[in-house]
Amino acid sequence: MHVIGKVWRSGAVALAVGFGLLEAPAPSHAQRGPQGAYCASNDNRFARCQVPWRDAELVQQMSKTRCVRDQTWGFDRNGIWVDKGCRGQFAPAYGRQYDDGRGRGWGRPPQQLQVRCESHGGNRQFCPVDLRRDDQVRMVNKLSGADCRQGRSWDWSRDGIWVDRGCRAVFVVERRY
């Protein structure tokens, strides 16, 4: 094909898109709720969710696939993106703390996130939550008659909170920036 034909074809495609004759895939809109927005990579496919925030943080992982910032989810000028099966509840993030290991930096007061985690039938249940080094987790409301004692029937790690032996409770994650 001659150069003139290529230029004409690319110009025709640009005009067709401009007039709406050809459709470009539209970005997904996040399903917003009281705690933020839900965004999902279904069938391990890349997806974008538009939100009116300048940055986001994962507040609860909703998939078996681990959601890791800048690997299976991220945030850019087009909103939240998820990939490789990551599904989660996201909330606005208002800045990042500078931490050089000596407590220097800036931040804001701790943000609290509530997570409900329940052991049914006495079985261990893991509730994925993206926890950071400086986060603190505490039980605020015991929902079961079973004993809920940290280190015995519940605890937490960087990946989330686990409950066991019939412990059902609401936990608060204090996020420090």
Tell which residue, 90, 75, 116, has the closest CA to residue 31: 90
Reported as a single tens digit per residue, the pLDDT across 117-146 is: 999 999 999 998 888 877 889 999 999 999
Reported as a single tens digit per residue, the pLDDT across 17-72 is: 344 433 333 444 455 554 578 999 999 999 999 988 888 889 899 999 999 988 99
Which residues lie across from 118 on neighbouring strands? Answer: 168
Which residues lie across from 168 on neighbouring strands? Answer: 118
Residues 6+ apart with CB under 8 A from 103: none
Helices (H), the chain: 3-18
CB 170 within 8 A of CB 113: no
Tell which residue, 130, 86, 94, has the closest CA to residue 110: 94
Tell which residue, 89, 75, 76, has the closest CA to residue 40: 89
Q: How many CA within 13 A on the CB side of residue 13?
A: 6
Q: What is the distance between the alpha carbons of residues 59 and 16, in angstroms, rounded to a whole number?
A: 41
Highest mean pLDDT among 42-46, 48-52, 97-101, 157-161 belongs to 42-46
Q: What is the pLDDT of residue 129?
A: 86
